[in-house]
Amino acid sequence: MKVRKYGEIYQLTFWPQLFPVNCYIVEEQHEVTLIDTGMPASFKGIVDAIKNIGKPLTNIILTHAHGDHVGSLDRLKETFPEVCISISERDNRLLKGDVSLNDDEPQTPIKGGIPKGIKTEPNRLLREGDKIGSLEVVETPGHTPGSISLYSRKTGFIIVGDAFQTRGKIAVSGKLVKTFPFPAFATWNKEEAIQSAKKIQRLKPSILAAGHGTIIQNPENKIAQAIIEAEKNLMNR
């Protein structure tokens, strides 16, 4: 595991050379919040990082319900029984293994590693504009129907789950990057993903933190280019 610190954000990267999976810890004044729980084997590294910071873990927020983002959820809940678990209202169904779609949603199949046997029940179901500590919920569907991002208006950083990937190059979810194709393969709907990317772009974040790849500082131009490429790819498919 590699740990990098950017202000109040800690990026925890597991298997950085082979299949990089990122979790994030956001340090608040008196506590910390964990964003995503990685794979089952991420458990020990996450616990060690929290102990090293030395503040209590009060919240775990899941950007979406794919297996590489919720893998150690049950063990973390057992270790930190008082922690509040949050996920979007929509992706809570996916966390339970329900891949059905609403009538008003694009009827493309939900893809990716759908979790099985998750025992933990979320304490809070999130919607647009909800706040947890310094973080504000931004609904960014596309990779999954209920994907969310977490935005800090104070510092301008945004943790986007798989709405973008930065492994290999920055790309909107659903745009195939040959050197790391897995997020594209697991994307539910490309049109929705592009609209969510534009929503993130309008926030003009100072730091873009994705589920796979390095943190991008001052990402405005790269975000714009990634959206252009995703739209071009969609027109040519």
Mean pLDDT of the chain: 96
pTM above 0.85, yes or no: yes
* CATH placement of domain 2-235: 3.60.15.10
Report the SS3 class of residue 3.
Answer: strand
Q: Is-contact 161 64, C-beta < 8 A?
A: yes
Q: What is the 3-state secondary structure (H, E, C) of 186-209?
A: CCCCHHHHHHHHHHHHHHCCCEEE
Residue 237, pLDDT > 90, answer: no
Q: Which of 59-80 are b and which e, b meaning 16 or more Cβ less than 10 Å from the residue's Cβ?
A: bbbbbbbbbbbbbbbbbbbeeb
157 forms bridges with which residues in the sheet? 207
What is the per-residue pLDDT for 12?
98
Q: Which helix (H) or strand (E) holds 226?
A: helix 220-235
**Which tens digits make up the pLDDT trace of 118-170?**
999 999 999 999 999 999 999 999 999 999 999 999 999 999 999 999 998 99
